[in-house]
Amino acid sequence: MNWTSPRCLLFVPLGLALQGFAPVSGATVWRPNQDSDVIATVRTGGSSAADRELRNLRQTLAANPTQPSLALEVAQRALDRGKREADPRFLGQAELALAPWKDLPDVPVPLRLVRANLHQTLHNFPAALADLNQVLKEDPRHLQAWLMKATVHTVQSDYTQARTAAAQLLGKADDLVATAAIAQIGIATGNAEAACRQLERALEQESSRPADPSRTAVRVWATTMLAESLAGLGRSVPAEHRFREALSLDPTEPYLLAAYADFLLSQNRPEEVLTLLAAHRSQDGLRLRCAEASYRATGERPTHEVTVLAEQFAAARARGERVHLREEARFELRLQRQPARALALARENWQVQKEAADFQLLWEAAQAVPDEPTLRELKEWPAPAGFVPRLPGEPQL
C-alpha cells in the first residue's frame, strides 16, 4: 500500500524498516563533514496558520510530554499532515508525540488507535494489527479499529480475516464506509463487477444527501476505488468519469492523483499526466509519474527528475525506510532500466504487501529479467489466496 493511499484516511503509507542500506543505482549518499554543510533545502515551517498551530502544540507538549490529550492532538495532526503532504518529517513528529507510551503495557485507546494508524502508514503491519487487536479487546465495538483491521488484512491478502473484520461494520458503520470496506475485498478476490455495482449504489445514495464537507474524504476514497476497479475491468470511459468526479471533490488528494496518472499512462496519454501533476512534483510518488510521462512523451529520460528521485530513494533507504519500495522498483524498472535491481525491490515489497499493483509490478520485473521461477511462483500463487489479478498481457478474469 502506498503511504498516501486513501485507505490511510483510517489513508498513508507510511517506515518499513530495512536492515542495512543499499544505494539506488546511479545515486551516491553524501554524508556531511561539518555543521555548515547543507544536506537539503526543505519547505520552512511557520508559513501557514496550520504550521504555526502545530508548532505551538508541539512546544506545549514538550513541556508536558505525558499529557495524553495533548499528545493525541499533536500525533493526529502531524500524521494527517504527513499523509497529505507525503512529508516524513511530520510522521517523525507523530512518533515523537507518542514516544512516552512506547513501552507501557497500558495505553489509552485513542493513543493506541492513532499509533496503529501511524504503523499502518509506515507499512509496519504486524505492529498495527497488534495495536488494533488490543483496541478491540478493550472495545469490541470500535468501528474505526475494525475498518483499519479489514484494510490491513486486505493489503496482506489475508481475506478471511479481512471479511471477518469488515462484517463487523454492517448495520453499524456509515453505509458508504461499510460498502467500500467490503468492496475492496471483493475487488481483490475476483468479484470486481459485483463490488462496482455495490459502490455505484452506495455513491448514488450518498449523492442524494445534502452536501457535507466532512464526508468529502470518504466519498473520494470510495469514488477512487470505483474508478480503479472499472479501469481494471477495461471500462475506460466510466472509469475516467469517476476519476474526474473524485478530482472535483478533492483535486489535491495524493493517492487519487497517482491513480488517475497511472490510468492516463495506461491509456498512452503522457502529456495529460504532465498537465495533471504540474503543481504536485514535490511528492516522490507523483514526481515518479511525471518523470515516466515525460520519458514517454519525449523519448528522452528527464535527467533532473531522475537524479532527484534517485537521491530521494537513496536517502530513504539510508534512513531505514521501506515505505517506497513499490515506487523504487518501478523507478529502477521503467526509468533506470535496471530490471535485476527492480526485481529485487519488487520481491522485497511483495513480502510486505500483496495488492494488485504489487503483483503486476513483480510480474513485469520478472518478465524483464527474465526470471522464470518468479513467474511460475506468481502464476501459482493467486488461486489459494483468493486473489485474482490481471496478468499483464492477459484479459481481465
Select from 173, 207, 228 the last residue of a domain: 173
Phi–psi pair at 49, nearest 5 degrees: -60, -40
230 assigned to some structural domain: no
Domain membership of residue 328 (yes or no) is: yes
pTM of the model: 0.86
> Can you give the pLDDT at residue 84?
85
Q: Is residue 215 part of a domain?
A: no
Contact of 29 with 315, CB cutoff 8 Å: yes
State residue 9's pLDDT score.
39
- Is 23 domain-assigned? yes
Q: How many CB atoms lie within 10 A of CB 356?
A: 17
318 domain-assigned: no
**C-alpha cell at position 227:** 474508478
Cell numbers describing residue 224: 477512487
Domain end residue (candidates: 152, 173, 194): 173
Q: Note whether residue 270 is domain-resident.
A: no
Q: What is the pLDDT of residue 26?
A: 37
Count of structural domains, the chain = 2
* Rounded alpha-carbon distances, angstroms, from residue 172 to 2, 129, 146, 167: 28, 21, 11, 10
CATH code of residue 54: 1.25.40.10
- Note down the domain range covering 394: 324-397
Question: Cβ distance 250 to 215 under 8 Å?
Answer: no
pLDDT score recorded for residue 224: 98
Answer yes or no: are the C-beta atoms of 304 and 3 closer than 8 Å. Answer: no
Query: Residues in the chain with pLDDT < 70?
Result: 1-47, 383-397
Asked if residue 194 is part of any domain, the answer here is: no
Dihedral (Cα; 240, 244, 250, 252), 10-degree rounding = 70
Residue 219 CB neighbours (<10 A): 20
Domain boundary among 173, 204, 220: 173
